[in-house]
Amino acid sequence: MISNFIWHNGNLLNEDEGLSFNRRSHLYGDGLFETLRIHKGKICFWESHYFRLMSSMRILRMDIPLDWSPDKLASEILTFKPESSTSDYRVRLSIWRDGELGYKPTTNSIDWCMHITGINGFGYPNPVRLQKLALFQEHKKSKGLLSTLKMSQSALYILTANFAQEQNVDDAVLLSHDNHVLETSRGNIFILKEGSLVTPSLEDGALRGVMREQVLKLSKNIGLIATEKKISPFDLLKADEIWITNAIQGIMAVSEYRKSTYVSVLANKMQDEVNKKCLEF
């Protein structure tokens, strides 16, 4: 009987050295993550993050620790505080299924870790960050329940971001298999045209973004009517503003897409609303 060994770069690893190579998140992408912005010791929009996390773990049939109440998990996340108090910081909470080699899980119990990095400044940036945008068409995103989750297996987003870098732009648009806009490598997408704010639906394959949820709720505060419907690449060219949203930057505004240019007036107003909501915590 041959035991399990891990050989890495010409070296045989001992059990402790090989631990990270045995994780199912590394072997199969069998995990998920939440990216959180911490502002003055509070997790921005924690309730939305928490319920998305719980829902995602149930969909992936992972066991949820019995003591992971909203307050207990938030307290655990905030246990470690960076030395610097001059800015917000980001926490990437990664969760993966325990177990051994093989697609069939030997257990549904989980393990987890956090990556903590600094962010310049307090609150979401205003004026918003401006982005140049391209269209990624090499691979498409399928729709379904799994398409709404933030899963460890992120090859499609990596390829999209890599394409944007090759095109010397900041980000690129991901399409569905029926060639409708879904999101970008960095977040959900909204288009603004004549007072109407539109974003792709979750049913069509868009990511269930926490900041997307906030924008849909807060849009009425700046006089916008928000709806979910299909967006074609041609619709991007006709928009007054295009927004990209995520939990770290809040709102980002597209300045250029192909030969079209855009303003960011209402993007900045929306960012004000996002900051007000965050400060309520």
State how far the Cα of 98 lies from the Cα of 280, in Å rounded to an integer.
37
Beta carbons of 242 and 257 less than 8 angstroms apart: yes
State how far the Cα of 204 lies from the Cα of 25, in Å rounded to an integer.
27
Strand partners, 228: 199
| pLDDT of the residue at 125 | 93
| pLDDT of the residue at 278 | 84
Among 168, 176, 144, 173, residue whose Cα is nearest residue 242: 173
| pLDDT of the residue at 85 | 61
| pLDDT of the residue at 5 | 86
In this structure, the number of other CB atoms found within 10 A of the CB of residue 100 comes to 12
Domains and CATH numbers, the chain: 15-118 (3.30.470.10), 129-279 (3.20.10.10)
Predicted model pTM: 0.94
| pLDDT of the residue at 103 | 95
Strand partners, 174: 183
Mean pLDDT by 10 residues, the chain (281 residues): 78 87 92 95 96 98 97 96 80 96 95 93 92 98 95 96 98 98 98 96 97 97 96 97 97 97 98 89 50
Q: Counting Cβ atoms within 10 Å, is residue 208 exposed (0-12), middle (13-18) or buried (19+)?
A: middle
Beta carbons of 135 and 232 less than 8 angstroms apart: no
